[in-house]
Amino acid sequence: MRFTKIIAWSTAGAVLIAIGVAFGQLIRHSSELDHVPVGGPFELVDQDGDGVNDKTFLGRPSVILFGYTSCPDVCPTTLMDVSNWLKALGPLADNLNVLFISIDPERDTPIHLREFLSSFDPHIRGLTGTNKQIAAVAKEFRVYYKRVDESDGSYSMDHSGAIYLMDKTGQFAASLSFQTVDSVAIERLRGLATS
């Protein structure tokens, strides 16, 4: 009986040690992912047709999201969420650059971006560029996107949906998703706006 208990305790101990090692590896891996560089130099055109680059936005923290104006659901929903979060910030929203970067430059001209974004908070500024420029900025931000051709000759764009929070020096601070709870998002944006 005593021998059976010893074996049982030894087995339980070995399992706990294995779980601890695996958990330690998971934390280490997670921490390595946190240090993957996000963001970098880019050159684009804003919704007024003016050339901008990453240095244009230094000095104020930035909220950056990627999408396209023909997106049927996720992009408009996310932009509405961001608009509501900015409204909740009140005057603190003025401390932020809020950038919507199109991953569909063929359709999203500066004029089209300006018209589309007029339905959302005025702090949100649209950026576009050539296919090469969009590919370059997407690579810097580790954004996935892909054109999907439809049978009727039209196309849609698959893309990742993270919202990037960058500090005033252009360094990655955190990210949000379109599913982030409003109270959490507002608190994170408030912290960014006051940093």
Cα 28 to its chain centre, rounded Å, is: 23
* pTM score, whole prediction: 0.80
pLDDT tens, residue by residue, 76-108: 999 999 999 999 999 999 999 999 999 999 999
Q: Quick one: 95 and 143 in the same domain?
A: yes
Q: Quick one: 20 and 57 in the same domain?
A: no
Decide if pLDDT at 56 tops 70. Answer: yes
Q: Quick one: 48 and 31 in the same domain?
A: no
pLDDT tens, residue by residue, 109-156: 999 999 999 999 999 999 999 999 999 999 999 999 999 999 999 999
Q: Quick one: 24 and 106 in the same domain?
A: no
pLDDT at 21: 39
pLDDT at 177: 84
Q: Which of 16, 53, 61 is nearest to 163 (CA)?
A: 61
Q: Quick one: 98 and 147 in the same domain?
A: yes
Three-state DSSP class for residue 79: helix
Per the structure, the count of domains in the chain is: 2
Cβ burial of 78 (10 Å; 0-12, 13-18, 19+) is: buried
CATH code where residue 124 lies: 3.40.30.10
Q: Quick one: 64 and 4 in the same domain?
A: no
Give the domain extent around 161.
43-193
pLDDT at 37: 79
